[in-house]
Amino acid sequence: MFLYGSAYPIGKIGTDQIPPLFMGSLRVFFVFLFIFPFFKFSIPKKQFFNLFVFSFVMGFLTYACLYLALDFSSLISPIIIGAQLSVPFGLLLSKFMLGEEISKKKWFFIFTAFVGIFIVAYDPRFVEEIYGIIAIIMMSFFYGLANNLSRHLKEVDTVTQLGWHSIIGFIFLMFFSFVVEGNPIHNLYQLNFLSFLAALHAGLFVSLIGHGGLFYLYKFYPVATVLPYYSLFPLFGIVLTFIIFFEIPGIYEIIGGIIVISSVYLIHLGNKKDN
């Protein structure tokens, strides 16, 4: 969870140095670079449409919104808290996409999670940076959607899924980076040691080790046992944000953050009891 939490303050270091979409393209490039020796470029014909949609949503839309949110905002803690909405979004989408039932308690906690994020958005310090909170809410929606789409890819091995997710994500991120942010060659010249480390950290430690570690735990523990700990990543992220940027959360962030994180944790706890 520390690696998940570190993605935001260290990602902010990257977007302070290079354009956000270009930062996202470097992240998926490093993911592909590390799995390249194991990637066979095989196309799962029966699952390729689902794999393409998943890769577009996760590799392009999710990362684009994440780094745009960090770029729009000078405050990082509200972005970290807003990312927790991926859980209630994922739960809502699972009802409409997979027909899963949602108990009355979960509906209540979904509602309180959104109330919490509205409280965070009312922070006077965040008024002029509202695009940041909008972008992270969009990121949370796409991440929740990607998690539901990935459930249709059980027959696709992890390396193949990561490989195509990286390739497709890189193509779209680089294309829109070229359209919006200018010549990527010029952006590459802007790459310095800090931005390089930020992109490397996102690709290697967050995507490969972070997600990989989560998938490893799934081999030994039920999903409902592991996922409640996902609620801990904002705590690590906010502490690391204070260490790096000396950013102290305001009263709106503290109250809204407690509501959001508690709601998400209780949703996970309900999933654990259901299983």
- Interior angle at CA 232, CA 230 and CA 237, nearest 5: 110
Question: Would you tell me how many other CB atoms lie within 10 Å of the CB of residue 183?
Answer: 10
Question: What pLDDT score was predicted for residue 181?
Answer: 93
Look at residue 84 in the predicted model and tell me its pLDDT. Answer: 86
Instruction: Give the separation between CA 265 and CA 259, rounded to whole angstroms.
Output: 10
All residues at 6 or more sequence positions from 113 whose CB lies less than 8 Å from its CB, including other chains? 84, 85, 87, 88, 259, 260, 263, 264, 267
pLDDT for res 225: 54
Question: Which residues, including other chains, have CB under 8 Å from residue 69's CB and lie 6 or more apart?
Answer: 79, 82, 132, 133, 135, 136, 139
Single out the residue of 194, 68, 205, 202 nearest to residue 139, CA to CA.
68
pTM over 0.85: yes
CA angle 78, 199, 140 (to 5 degrees): 35
Q: Other CB atoms closer than 10 Å to residue 140's CB: what's the count? A: 25
pLDDT in tens, the chain (275 residues): 667 788 899 999 999 999 999 999 999 999 999 999 999 888 887 888 889 999 999 999 999 999 999 999 998 999 999 888 888 888 888 888 777 777 888 889 889 999 998 898 888 877 778 899 899 999 999 988 888 888 778 788 888 888 898 999 999 999 999 999 998 888 888 888 999 999 999 988 888 887 666 655 644 555 455 555 666 788 888 889 999 999 988 898 899 989 988 888 888 776 656 55
- Per-residue confidence (pLDDT) for residue 76, from 0 to 100: 92
